Structure 1
Amino acid sequence: MAEMGLYKTKSKHYIDTYYQITIINIFILSLITSSSMASSSSSVDFSTAILIRVDQSGKGDFNNIQEAIDSIPPNLNNSQLYFIWVKPGVYREKVVIPADKPYITLSGTKASTTVLIWSDGEDILESPTLTVFASDFVCRFLTIQNKFGTAGQAVALRVAADNAAFYGCVITSYQDTLLDDNGNHYFKNCYIEGATDFICGSASSLYEKCHLHSLSPNNGSMTAQMRSSATDKSGFSFLGCKLTGTGSTYLGRPWGAYSRVVFAYSFFSDVVAPQGWNEWGDSSKNNTVYYGEYKCYGPGADRRERVKWSKQLSDEEATVFMSKDFIGGKDWLRPAPSHFKAALKSNPKE
């Protein structure tokens, strides 16, 4: 149980910092953009984007990813899509997408050959290799790694903005790999690897056809969702996913008292502990958490030894978690652009 005790002080530290920093960032963004979102988002031409190329060989517009992001002007009127195409290579940098730059797509060529890597740890908010503060962000075919190791919190990806989607990405670390912080998010065909609470946060997220791989030697946890009240709409839904790993792991444990996580139509290898879910040392949360399974299969899906406070969902109960409506996705998910135009360079290379 040593691994399960790593975060006894995690909630207080995170919540204090979260409300002092994260909510301030999101609140500021909402003040700036909320008045323009409704009227302007419908006018965005989703078929066409300004193309910015990142290539370490020097044949692109920029040699690293952050330079490409910094080149994009604040886009508070949401009138233009930007598509950053990252050529194959290992990019050793910490990247931040600022809140005033919505509608960016960051795309590798293939996740196996396009790698963003950094090594930082011990602070859940400062360690991420990639941090997303901008709304309407899309990431495709990119590997995002934090190589800090097993010594503490080490976030690979932090998503602290509304309307973010990730397709075909590989996200790896050990502790708190994916800080699915807040907002509505969508992950499809992604590979997510870690050991302790490696998908955590208070977002509303749908994970479709994703592969979750646990590195925990004993009693780790795949999720630590942070829903804080019965009226909070947040939660993690895993649809058609695959769960594998070494050792044993729980499906989740409650970071927040009303933590909500559902797995549907997913394959559970024998890495899933028979109890399925862990109360994180606080049995009072057993009456408020919402942990459900629906038509999952595989050796780890046997519910005979599951904790009694988890649920085998009915058809009606499961329906709400198996649609993009769970994240309001029909209103904001967009296809990849089909047409591109070159960016205007204010400072051309000599």
Structure 2
Amino acid sequence: MESGVASRALVMADVAAWAGVSHQTVSRVVNGHPNVAPRTRERVEQAIAQLGYRPNYAARALVTGCSRTIGLVTVHVNHYGPAQTLIGLEKAARVAGYSLSVSILDEATAAAVREAVDRLVSHRVDAVVALSTYDDAARAIGLLETPVPLVTVQVSGGEGRPAVGVDQEAGARLATAHLLSLGHRTVHHVTGPEGSQEARGRVTGWRDVLEAAGAPVPPPLCGDWTAPSGHAAGRQLADRIRRGEEVTAVFLANDHMALGLLAALHEEGLSVPDDVSVVGFDDLPEAPYLAPPLTTVRQDFAELGRRGVQLVLARLAGEDVVPEPVVPVLVVRSSTGPVPVSRTPAGRDGHPCYR
């Protein structure tokens, strides 16, 4: 490296001189522009590596008005699904040459969401992604007017708001149909929390399959995504079995609740799947190692992140894109099996939630 270059901060012109190309060519390579010959791109990338050049994104943002940063507003990231979606968005943004600036809220009130979006916009992000699954977040997002594109992931953003998500109803239909195909007369369901759009979609898919099959629709049990709520549901279902009610198959709205339910059934002396078949949702990394390994519905969070970033880039380019939802897949393991022949049907009572 020349001494004059070594004594000051590197600029794009230094890379251009080293590679023997124009300043504009270096700019195209740095910004991921496709119209660069492969050998030229390789020469510029070698120059960047050899010189240790780092683009000055702050200076570029002042000149171009483009920071190559996407803002993300999210809540409840302590849950597996939102956390994995955040990771998927960050990876997809990085591949596209963008960084992610994250604002994690304790609650999705309209005021908190508005303040977070305003703060991200003040830091010159190019676009904002809102990630949530709850009605209060959807209402807050629907009221926002922003000077940069705003897209939503996993929650409806209101009339005309671009959004991408997982087809929750399709996933629930897969789980319920699988259990009916094994000979179970009906399928009980443990829901996610009220106010969650994901949970409501899974209830709808579950109920639609039962009604289409002419199967009884048992009263759903209300959960909150946590293992303790699944454990409590398992105790309730075990009590129903002791009273002679037909409970042979359970679909839970996520794997954490399924974990709690498996523990409760074991404590009550019930075997899975010999007495009760169990299906979860999410496909936690631990799901194959539960006792027994858990049949579940897998969401592709990496693909969800990729489609979310694709939607952002399309909006930045002024394109109207309506992305297809990500379709989950059923992963069959040892927690489901044929219906026990010793069970007799019993009556039904009222629905405590998700009527």
Q: TM-score, normalised by structure 1?
A: 0.25
Higher Rg of the two aligned structures: 2
- Relative contact order higher in (CA < 8 Å, ≥ 6 apart): 2
Question: Which has the larger share of helix?
Answer: 2
Question: Which has the larger share of strand?
Answer: 1
